[in-house]
Structure formats: structure tokens, C-alpha cells
Amino acid sequence: MRSTVTRHFARRLVLLLPTLVGLTLVTFALLRLIPGDPVRVLLGEHAADEQVARFRAEQGLDQPLPAQYLRYAGDLIRGDWGRSIKTNLPVTTELAQRLPATVELGLAAMAIACVVGIPLGVLAAHRHNRAADLLSAGTALVGVSIPLFWLGLLLAHLFGYRLGWLPPSGRLSIGIEMASVTEAWNLEQVCGGPLGPVLIPIADVASNFYVLNSILTANFAALADVVQHLILPALTLSVVPLAIIVRMTRACLQDTLSQDYVRTSRAKGLPEQAVVLRHAMKNALPPIVTIVRLQLGLLFSGAILVETIFSWPGMGQLVVDRVLARDYPVVQGIVLVAALVIVVINLATDLSYIYLDPRIRYE
């Protein structure tokens, strides 16, 4: 069994390579089709021709497109993701600064969607065609239909500006001090020898996860402020996946509750809670997990809009800024990271199927 699962995931990883190659090729080509010259965007329309030519040569933009792609692919193989045309910083540095914000927002939104959506779906399935079922179905329909940009602006206006309960934008209030994990734990002195160059970059990336950082450094004032800033964008981003999870949980559990083994469990006198949660829900979970996986992968597209509304300094806001600036290396890095995140989510979901349903076998 274990060897079969290992072969399955090894095959998935091998098949991933042509997918990533095709993704980099398509992204590279589409970015070059966008009207506008990145050098002119950065230097301005009135820059001297000599300055433009020199900068284009420095960035390798004066070469033919096939030569540019081969150079980009060769750098990727060596682990070099390139440098930003706009800031001249390494792409990996910019992604390490912005990715944690988007991951934090996406996980918070998905946590809200699952914690609220799955119980609502269970309640709707258990109380089929009653008030709770009709209410949850109506809520799911509204959640799928509502525009995110309208909902985000409404929440920011109501709770941020009118009531003043929550911050309407940003990720951290001005004046709140937040030390990095490296500084708080004095890792530069503690982690000497060969472990230092490995652990310190990991700690620096972890520091950009503000919730995790404030917990690890015991900075509870910063933790409260970060959570307050996180609530409105996470609520906005969670609406669509919450609605879909409610509908899928209701449908899957309704189908499971109509099975013979559920009727047999009830006939044996088992408590209704045990019948629904221990027997029926366990068998309804695999398709629900699939929907959660799909929605988690789609959160990135919604995060672009939500981060722009709430001035959330994540990958969504970064991709909008860099597409407008024609910053090819950063946009290519963002697309590649998004693809890798989706691959990791899919592999983790496949592993969870083995635990949720032991009958599943990967041949």
C-alpha cells in the first residue's frame, strides 16, 4: 500500500514538470503581448534614447523573444528567479515579503468558510425542507451572487468608517512595533555554524506572517491589531467559498443520509447525533474536501480584488501593480508560485483521501 502511494505521488511530480514548463511559456508569451514598453513605463516617456537602450540591454530585453525565454528558463533551473525591473530587487525577496500576507488572508478566509459553512450544510441536510434548510439555501444563493468588490466596500464603509469598530484598510496600525523572529530570539548569535544560513532565512519569512510572528514573539498587542485588520478582508473573501461549501455539504450529506446503512444505524437505536456525525458525515467528507481544495486554489483570484479594496499588501496587490508596470520577472514569479501552491494543495488533498476513505487505492 505504502509503495503504491509513493509511486502515485512520484508519477504526479514527474507529470508536474511539463505542466510547469508550459505554464512558464504561456505566461512569458502573454506578458509580451501586453501593449507597452516596460522600459518606457519605468523611465518615463521623455527618457533619452541612449538611456532607454542601455537599460533595455542591461535587462536583456533587446534580445529576440526565444533567446529571452531560454535565458529565463535556464535561470529558473539554477534557482535564479531574476530581478524586478521596477525595484531591481530579487524576485524571491519580493515574493517572500508579499506571499505570507496572501497566505494568511487566504487561510483565514477558508477557516471562516469551513467553520461556518460545514455546520450550516449539516444543519440544512438534517432539517431538509424546513426553515433551517431554506434559510441556508437562501444564504448560499446570496453568497454566490454577491459581487466581492461591492461587499468589501460596504463592509469597509460600515464597520470601518461609520461605526469605527474595525480598521478599514492596511495590515498593521501605525505605531505598532513588531520585531522579527530573528531579532526576538537572537537567532544570529544562537544559530551559528552551518545551520545559521538555513534557519535565519526561514525565520525571516515566518516573520512576515504577522499572526505567527506576534505569537512567537509574545507580542499580544500586535496580535490583537493584526487580527482586527484581518477580519474585514477575510470575511469578504470567505463569502463565495462559504456559500459553495454550504451547498456541497448539504447535497453530499443528504445523499448519504438516504443510504441503507444509515437507516440501519437508526433502527439499532443509535443517537441521531452519532448517526449524522460519526457515520453519515464521515462518508460525505471526500467530495466536501475536494470542494474545499478547489475553493482554496481559487481564493488567489479573489484575493487580487479584495487586497486592492482593503490595501492589503499581498500578492494580489503586487500582481496588479507589476502588470501595470510591465515588470515581467515579478509577474512570472507570482504565476509560478500560484501554480506551486495549487500543486501542493492537490497533493495534500490526495493524501487526505487515504485517511478519510481507506477503500481508496492509488494504482
For residues 74 and 350, the model is more confident at 74
Element (H or E) spanning 113, and its range? Answer: helix 91-126
* DSSP codes joined into one string, 146-214: S-HHHHHHHHIIIIIIIS-SS-SS-SS-TT-----HHHHHTHHHHS-GGGHHHHHHHHHHHHTSHHHHH
pLDDT at residue 136 in the model: 80
- Distance in angstroms (rounded) separating the CA atoms of residues 322 and 95: 12
Q: What is the pLDDT of residue 358?
A: 63
Q: Are 250 and 287 in contact (CB under 8 A)?
A: no
Q: Is the pLDDT of residue 161 over 60?
A: yes
pLDDT grade for 196, boundaries at 50, 70 and 90: low
β-bridge mates for residue 90, sequence order: 83
Residue-level pLDDT at 272? 81
* Mean pLDDT, residues 304-329: 88
pLDDT at site 35: 80
Of 203, 11, 230, residue with least CA distance to 111: 230
Judged against a pLDDT cut of 90, whether residue 212 lies above it is answered with: yes
CA 332 – CA 20 distance, rounded (Å): 12
In degrees rounded to 5, what are phi and psi of residue 90? -60, 140
Read off the pLDDT of each residue in 177-199 and give the average, rounded to a whole number.
77
Percent of the chain topping pLDDT 70: 95
Average pLDDT value for residue range 137-163: 88
CB 304 within 8 A of CB 322: no
Burial class (CB in 10 A: 0-12, 13-18, 19+), 102: buried
pLDDT in tens, 130-141: 887 788 888 788
Q: Is the pLDDT of residue 193 over 70?
A: no
String of b and e for 130-145 (b: at least 16 CB within 10 Å)?
eeebeebbebbeebee
pLDDT of residue 153: 92
Average pLDDT taken over every residue of the chain: 85
The count of residues in the chain is: 363
Q: How far apart are CA 82 and CA 89, in angstroms?
A: 9
Better-predicted residue by pLDDT, 13 or 1: 13
When pLDDT is averaged across residues 169-193 and rounded to a whole number, the result is 82
CA–CA dist 59, 149 (Å, integer): 36
pLDDT of 243 higher than 80: yes
Residue 359 binned pLDDT confidence (cut-offs 50, 70, 90) = low
Residue 181 reports pLDDT greater than 90: no
> Is the C-alpha dihedral spanning 107, 305, 326, 24 positive or negative?
positive
Q: What is the largest CA-CA distance in the chain?
A: 86
Assigned CATH topology for domain 91-177+219-325: MetI-like fold (1.10.3720)
pLDDT at res. 265: 83
Q: How far apart are the first and last CA of the chain?
A: 9
Residue 12, Cβ density class (10 Å: 0-12 exposed, 13-18 middle, ≥19 buried): middle
Asked whether the predicted pLDDT for residue 320 surpasses 80, the reply is yes
Residue 330 to residue 56: CA distance in whole angstroms: 17
Q: Is the pLDDT of residue 52 over 70?
A: yes
The yes-or-no verdict on residue 184 having pLDDT over 90 is no
Query: Domain map of the chain by residue range?
Result: 91-177+219-325
Q: Is the pLDDT of residue 117 over 70?
A: yes
- Residue 3: pLDDT band (50, 70, 90) is low
- Residue pair 117/137 in contact by the 8 Å Cβ criterion: no
* CB proximity list for 73: less than 8 A, separation 6 or greater: 21, 24
Q: Of all residues in the chain, what percent carry a pLDDT higher than 90?
A: 29
User: Tell me, what's the pLDDT at 362?
Assistant: 54
Assess contact for 65 and 304: CB atoms under 8 A.
no
Copy the grid coordinates of residue 333: 514569479
Predicted local confidence at residue 301, as pLDDT? 72
What cell was used for 282? 464521515
Is residue 274 within 8 Å of 150, Cβ to Cβ? no
Of 43-52, 128-137, 150-159, 353-362, which one has max mean pLDDT? 150-159
